[in-house]
């Protein structure tokens, strides 16, 4: 039993926003689900996990496929239930229906997430030839009526006093899949507002700052002209370490965090106001309030603040540098990533692998300008199930769906290619530099004598034979010309999924990326 089924279901739930049910047998199969369950919990993805189990009297009695399955996922599910072993009494049937209704409802209630139902079953497991199952037509379905939290008028008045008195305002967007471009575009027109967004924020607003990973490390120690007085945050995790460090060192006077989740999540260490409403509601109300104020006072065009101009100038310098310097003489993975971004179809889906793919994408997100929808398993930021998740998303996506992944992550999840009915719209790009190259780029591991043997962990595999066995069309490239030729046909529609393996040298990749960062001058 692998992690593949649950990560595939996780991807489908992520793409559809609907609860996906996953079923497994008893024993270690339930434990194999744990990495995906934890990812779903922290990324707030609705799943219903149904684990078959042996009856309670046989647990820990040296009988086959028995482990302690009740509450097996601990705090990584919103709630864990166990069905009764015997359903013959009407009250037991009522309990089963109630539990299932509650579990599905809970998976969709904010914050969304995984819910576990353990199902103990006594033998016989299978029906005899003469037996037929009859499903009742009156299965109970309890409809949940949608409600939405809102802010009282007095609360809005207090918040608007802070907004109007703040000379520098930053809206920082973490991992997000909500379509909020229209309201963010309006807010970006405010003379003292900057919008900063990681690549997984899915913000397609021309004025948004996306190259902050490149220029923030170059800002002088004072930081004062870049520091916001008021910070608004929403979404989940931020990839950019430089942004988090900058905001932790330069704490705003006010920090509003907008999230429906009742937990207090404060990665910037500066929250002053926790606002438990949906971000779309809050931003729309904010725009309407600002528009009404302009109507009353007259819409005089104000000059853009020094704060905003500083961020815009830094972003423009970064954008020009990226376009000017990304195609270097040595073929490296950052160059390959840029070429792939340039070739991605409009309105396509993109799942980024953890470690380097998502980090390169955050540096190069200014190149993603074709309304691509970007995902990444940043709930736990692990390498488990990346390809499986992307396949689940592809199965529910109307256009071309691409996964960019490193070699170690791909081979860890390579069984994903052997699922039944691989989606034809799936495209997988492996950046194969023969090991875990991220450790050459992190100060701690890169300085250790054990770097090559115990961190990078070299491998010599390629995906050619796997693709042949799985019926996946295979492409490969080892230089810029070969990659350019492959990309001409790679994203064309076809009757089978496609995989492109890009071979680079890990040490060259590390040297080129370090030079790319250090050579930028603000």
- Does 354 lie in the same domain as 310? no
**Residue found under tokens 């996506």:** 397
Whether 30 has a pLDDT exceeding 70, the answer reads yes
Whether residues 510 and 485 fall in one domain:
yes
Per-residue pLDDT, averaged over 471-482, amounts to: 96
Q: Is the backbone of residue 71 left (phi > 0), alpha (psi -120 to 50) or beta?
A: left
Percentage of residues in the chain having pLDDT higher than 90: 77
Q: Say if residue 1's pLDDT is above 50.
A: no
Mean pLDDT (the chain, rounded): 92
What per-residue confidence (pLDDT) applies to 299?
A: 60
Are 308 and 194 spatial neighbours (Cβ–Cβ below 8 Å)? yes
Q: Is the same domain home to 390 and 501? A: yes
Q: Tokens standing for 329?
A: 């003489």
Provide Rg for the chain, Cα atoms.
25
pLDDT band at residue 222 under the 50/70/90 scheme:
low
Confidence (pLDDT) at 128: 85
Domain membership flag for residue 138: no
Report the relative pairing of strands 254-258 and 349-352 from DSSP bridges.
unpaired
Residue 389 within a domain: yes
CA neighbor of 381 nearest in space, from 403, 350, 359? 359
Q: What is the 3-state secondary structure (H, E, C) of 266-281?
A: CCCCCCCEEECCCHHH
* Residue after which a domain boundary falls, among 120, 142, 161: 120
Q: Kindly list the distances between the CA atom of residue 312 and the CA atoms of 90, 103, 413, 489, in Å, as whole numbers in the listed order.
A: 67, 47, 41, 37
Looking at the structure, tell me whether residues 30 and 166 fall in a common domain. Answer: no
**Range from 288-292, 321-325, 388-392, 506-510 that averages highest in pLDDT:** 388-392
Q: What is the pLDDT of residue 107?
A: 97
**248: enclosing H helix or E strand:** helix 241-249
Give the pLDDT score at 130. Answer: 86
**Quick one: tokens of 156?**
């809005």
pLDDT higher at 304 or 171 = 171
Token reading at 55: 């009856």
Rounded to whole angstroms, the Cα distance separating 25 from 121 reads 11
Comparing 182-191, 212-221, 398-407, 476-485, the range with the smallest average pLDDT is: 212-221
- Domain assignment present for residue 189? The answer is yes
Both structure tokens of 353:
């692998």
Final residue in a domain of this structure, among 73, 101, 120: 120
The region that residue 407 occupies, defined by phi over 0 for left and psi between -120 and 50 for alpha, beta otherwise, is alpha
Per-residue pLDDT of 56-72, as tens digits, reads 999 999 988 999 999 99
Q: Is residue 280 part of a domain?
A: yes
Cα 84 off chain centre by: 36
Number of domains in the chain: 3
Residues 231-264: tens digit of each pLDDT: 999 999 999 999 999 999 999 999 999 999 999 9
Asked if residue 374 belongs to a domain, the reply is yes
**Distances, alpha carbon 134 to alpha carbons 131, 137, 477, in Å:** 10, 9, 56
The confidence score (pLDDT) of residue 448 equals: 82
Mean per-residue pLDDT, 206-235: 89
Higher pLDDT: 405 or 143? It is 405
Q: Within this chain, do residues 340 and 233 fall inside the same structural domain, yes or no?
A: no
8 A C-beta contact, residue 441 and residue 356: yes
CATH number for the domain harbouring residue 237: 3.40.50.1220
Last residue of a domain, one of 71, 97, 120: 120
pLDDT digits (tens, 9 = 90+) for 381-428: 999 999 999 999 999 999 999 999 999 999 999 999 999 999 999 999
Query: Do residues 474 and 374 share a domain?
Result: yes
Structural domain for 26, as ranges: 4-120
Nearest Cα neighbor of 482 from 317, 382, 335, 359 is 335
Task: Write the CATH number for 427.
Answer: 3.40.50.970
| Pair (260, 217) in one structural domain | yes
Q: At what angle do helices 333-343 and 356-363 cross, to 10 degrees?
A: 70
* Within-domain flag for 509: yes
Residue 142 lies in a domain: no
DSSP alpha helices (H): ranges in 269-412? 279-297, 306-325, 333-343, 356-363, 386-395, 407-412
**Same-domain status, 333 and 478:** yes
Claim to verify: residue 256 and residue 348 sit in the same structural domain? no
pLDDT at 2: 62
With bands split at pLDDT 50, 70 and 90, how would you rate the model's confidence at 147? confident
pLDDT at 220 over 90: no
18 by Cβ neighbours in 10 Å (0-12 / 13-18 / 19+) ranks as exposed
419-447 pLDDT, tens digit each: 999 999 999 999 999 888 788 877 777 77
Whether 129 maps to a domain, the answer reads no
Written as one string, the DSSP assignment of 123-155 is SP-S--TT------TT----PPPP------HHH
Which residue has 């064309």 as its token pair? 492
Calculate the alpha carbon distances from 486 to 349, 370, 390, 476 in Å: 19, 20, 21, 7
Say what the pLDDT of residue 25 is: 93
Q: Are residues 168 and 282 in the same domain?
A: yes
Label the pairing between strands 373-375 and 230-234: unpaired
Strand partners, 427: 402, 498
Asked whether residue 407 falls in the same domain as residue 478, the answer is yes
- pLDDT confidence bin for 79, thresholds 50/70/90: very high
Query: Taking the chain, what is the end-to-end CA distance rounded to the nearest angstrom?
Result: 52
Residues 95 and 171 in one domain: no
In whole angstroms, what separates CA 16 from the centre of its chain? 14
């Amino acid at each position: 039993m692998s992690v593949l089924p649950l990560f595939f279901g996780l991807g489908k739930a992520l793409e559809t926003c609907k609860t996906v049910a996953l079923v497994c047998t008893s024993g270690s199969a339930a434990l194999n689900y744990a990495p995906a369950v934890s990812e779903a919990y922290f990324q707030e993805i609705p799943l219903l996990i149904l684990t078959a189990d042996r009856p309670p009297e046989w647990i820990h009695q040296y009988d086959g496929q028995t482990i302690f399955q009740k509450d097996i996922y601990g705090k990584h599910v919103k709630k864990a239930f166990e069905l009764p072993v015997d359903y013959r009494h009407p009250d037991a049937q009522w309990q089963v229906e109630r539990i299932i209704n509650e579990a599905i409802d809970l998976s969709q209630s904010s914050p969304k997430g995984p819910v576990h139902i353990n199902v103990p079953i006594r033998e016989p497991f299978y029906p005899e030839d003469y037996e037929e199952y009859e499903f009742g037509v009156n299965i109970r379905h309890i409809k949940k009526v949608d409600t939405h939290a809102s802010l009282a008028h007095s609360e809005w008045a207090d918040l608007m006093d802070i907004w109007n008195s703040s000379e520098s305002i930053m809206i920082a967007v973490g991992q997000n899949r909500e379509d909020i471009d229209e309201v963010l575009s309006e807010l970006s027109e405010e003379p003292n507002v900057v919008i900063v967004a990681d690549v997984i924020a899915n913000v397609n607003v021309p004025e948004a700052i996306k190259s902050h990973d490149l220029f923030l490390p170059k800002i002088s120690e004072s930081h004062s002209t870049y520091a916001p007085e008021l910070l608004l945050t929403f979404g989940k995790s931020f990839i950019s370490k430089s942004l988090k460090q900058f905001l932790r060192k330069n704490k705003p006077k006010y920090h509003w965090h907008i999230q429906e989740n009742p937990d207090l999540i404060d990665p910037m260490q500066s929250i002053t106001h926790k606002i438990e409403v949906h971000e779309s509601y809050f931003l729309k109300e904010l725009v309407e309030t600002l528009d009404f104020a302009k109507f009353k006072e007259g819409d005089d065009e104000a000059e853009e603040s020094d704060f905003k101009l500083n961020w815009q100038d830094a972003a423009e310098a970064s954008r020009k540098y990226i376009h000017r310097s990304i195609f270097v003489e040595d073929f490296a993975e950052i160059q390959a990533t840029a070429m792939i971004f340039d070739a991605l179809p409009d309105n396509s889906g993109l799942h980024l692998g953890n470690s380097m793919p998502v980090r390169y994408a955050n540096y190069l997100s200014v190149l993603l300008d074709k309304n691509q929808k970007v995902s990444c398993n940043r709930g736990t930021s692990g390498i488990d199930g990346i390809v499986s998740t992307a396949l689940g998303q592809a199965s529910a996506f109307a256009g071309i769906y691409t996964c960019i992944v490193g070699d170690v992550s791909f081979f860890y999840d390579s069984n994903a290619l052997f699922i039944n009915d691989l989606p034809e719209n799936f495209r997988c790009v492996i950046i194969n530099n023969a090991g875990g190259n991220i450790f050459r780029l992190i100060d701690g591991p890169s300085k250790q004598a054990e770097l090559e043997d115990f961190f990078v962990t070299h491998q010599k595999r390629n995906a050619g034979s796997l693709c042949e066995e799985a019926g996946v069309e295979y492409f490969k490239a080892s230089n810029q010309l070969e990659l350019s030729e492959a990309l001409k046909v790679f994203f064309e529609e076809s009757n089978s999924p496609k995989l492109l393996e890009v071979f680079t040298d890990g040490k060259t990749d590390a040297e080129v990326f370090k030079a790319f960062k250090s050579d930028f001058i603000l």
